[in-house]
Structure 1
Amino acid sequence: MLAEGEIHRVLVVAAHPDDVDFGAAGTIALFGDRGVEVTYLLVTDGDAGGNERTLDNSGMAQLRRTEQTAAAKVVGVTDLRFLGYSDGTVVPSLELRRDISRVIRQVRPDLVITHHPDRNYQFIGPSHPDHRAVGGSALDAVYPDARNPYAFPELLRDEGLEAWKAREVWLMGGSTPNHWVDITTSIDRKIAALRSHVSQVSHIEGFADFVRTRSAAWAEQGGLGEGRYAEGFQVVPTA
């Protein structure tokens, strides 16, 4: 596993606005505190989400981009990139692998954070089809696509993007986490980031308590002790 001092650039690949905040905002805030450069890559604009039914899809897409931009700012992230795929219809594809590979080669991250590609039978929330499709495609982009100069040769030929090897992947939302990040000092920023997604969470009574309870359960699962909060990931080495 990468040592703390070996992580200088992080790319987070997520399906929808708010996914990164539910899964990793506390961790991202801590990265920012250490001066780590973090980029968000959102595959969709979340245009099929939310409880605001007075907006059409384009209006919802713009709203959710704005909410995600505000949420990112809370944890110190200003580099956000949106691919504009249609919410709810993402499937693993060569096109998606190429688009993610492009950003990996642009950002040149040490670490990629993305969704677990397998269904979680313990808690179904992380198993949205878009999540699984994005997670699988991101892993394929990490290995072998982004590091292989012969994969998607147009990226090098037409865009000058040299192959890049991300050294590690952390998966969000799986049933077999093996790494827990203590976010006790950043839990308030995680909640604030999530509350930026007004269209998604403003109707949920006791939302902050829900986030704290779930984060406390992760801390307990990770053996961090009572009164702590954590986020859990499955670490995938790529060497």
Structure 2
Amino acid sequence: MLDPADINKVLVVTAHPDDIDFGGAGTIATFVDRGVEVVYLLATAGDAGGFDRTVDAEDMAELRRAEQVAAAKQVGVTDVRNLGYPDGMLEATLALRRDIARVIRQVRPDLVFTSTPERNYARIGPSHPDHRAVGSAALDAVYPDARNPYAFPELLNDEGLEAWTVREVWLIGSPTPNHYVDVTATVDRKIAALRAHETQTGHLPDLEKMVKTFLTNNANAAGLPEGSYAEGFQVVSTG
């Protein structure tokens, strides 16, 4: 596993606005606090999300883009990018792999966060088809696409993007987490980031209690002291 001191750049690749905030905003805040550069890459604008049926898909996309920018600021992230794929229709295509590989080569991160491509039978939420699709495509973009100069040669020949090897991937929503991050010091910023997603969380009667209960269970699994909060990930080595 990477030494935290060796992590200088992080790329987060998710399907929708709010995915990283539910799955890892507390951890992202801890990285930013250490001076790590973090970039968010969203495959979709979340145009199929929300609960207000008077808002059409185009307006919902604009709302959710703005919400993600506001949420990112709560944890210190200012670089938020969107690939513009349709929400709810994401597939792990060659085109998606190429688009993610392009950004990996642009950002040149040490660590990539993405959603697990596995179905989680204990909790169905992380298993949204878009989550699994983006996780599969991101892992393929990490290995072999981004590091292989012969993969998608147009990225090098036309765009001048040299191959890049990501050193580690952390999967969000995995049914088998093997690494926990203590986010006790950043939990309030995580909750503030989630509140910024008004279209997604405004209907929840007690968001803070829900989030803290989940994070407490993670902290217990990690063996952290009482009163701690933690986020869990499955760490995948690319070596």
Q: Aligning the two structures, in what range does the TM-score lie when normalised by the shorter sequence?
A: over 0.9
| Equivalent residue, structure 1, for 2:16 | 16
Match runs of 1:47-196 below 5 Å = 47-196=47-196
Q: Deviations over 1:89-127 (max 9, x none)?
A: 001100000000000000000000000000001111100
Residue matched to 2:199: 199
Instruction: Provide the identity percentage.
Output: 67
- d(CA) in 2 for partners of 1:33, 1:92: 33
Give the distance between the partners of 1:46 and 1:4, measured in 2 at CA.
Answer: 32
CA deviation after TM superposition for structure 1 residue 14, in Å: 0.4
Corresponding pairs, count: 239
Map residues 215-230 of structure 1 onto 2, 5 A cutoff. 215-230=215-230
Amino acid at match of 1:18: D
Deviation digits for residues 156-177 of structure 1, max 9, x if unmatched?
A: 0000000000000000001100
> How far apart are residue 45 of structure 1 and its match?
0.4
* Deviation, structure 1 residue 217: 0.5
Residue identity in the other structure for 1:52: D
User: Tell me, which stretches of 5 or more residues in structure 1 are unaligned?
Assistant: none
Alignment match, 1:26: 26
Is 1:212 aligned to 2:220, yes or no? no
Match of 1:44 in 2: 44
> TM-score scaled by structure 2?
0.99
Report Cα offsets for 1:11-33 as digits up to 9, x if no partner: 00000000000001000001110
SS at match of 2:71: helix
State the alpha-carbon separation in 2 of the partners of residues 216 and 190 from structure 1.
Answer: 14
Cα distance, 1:53 vs structure 2:
1.4
Segments of structure 2 that go 5 or more residues without pairing to the other structure are none
Instruction: State the TM-score, normalizing by the size of structure 1.
Output: 0.99
3-state SS, counterpart of residue 142 of structure 1? helix
1:174-203, Cα deviation, whole Å (9 max, x unpaired):
110000000000000000000000000011
Query: For 1:2, what is the secondary structure of its paired residue?
Result: coil
Structure 1 CA distance, aligned partners of 2:150 and 2:193? 39
The separation in 1 between residues aligned to 2:167 and 2:145, in whole angstroms, is: 14
How far 1:225 moved relative to its partner? 2.6
Which residue is equivalent to 1:6?
6
Write out per-residue CA displacement over residues 40-63 of structure 1, whole angstroms, 9 at most, x where no aligned residue.
Answer: 000000000011211111100000
Per-residue deviation, 1:84: 0.5
Give the whole-Å Cα distance in 2 for the aligned partners of 1:158 and 1:164.
16
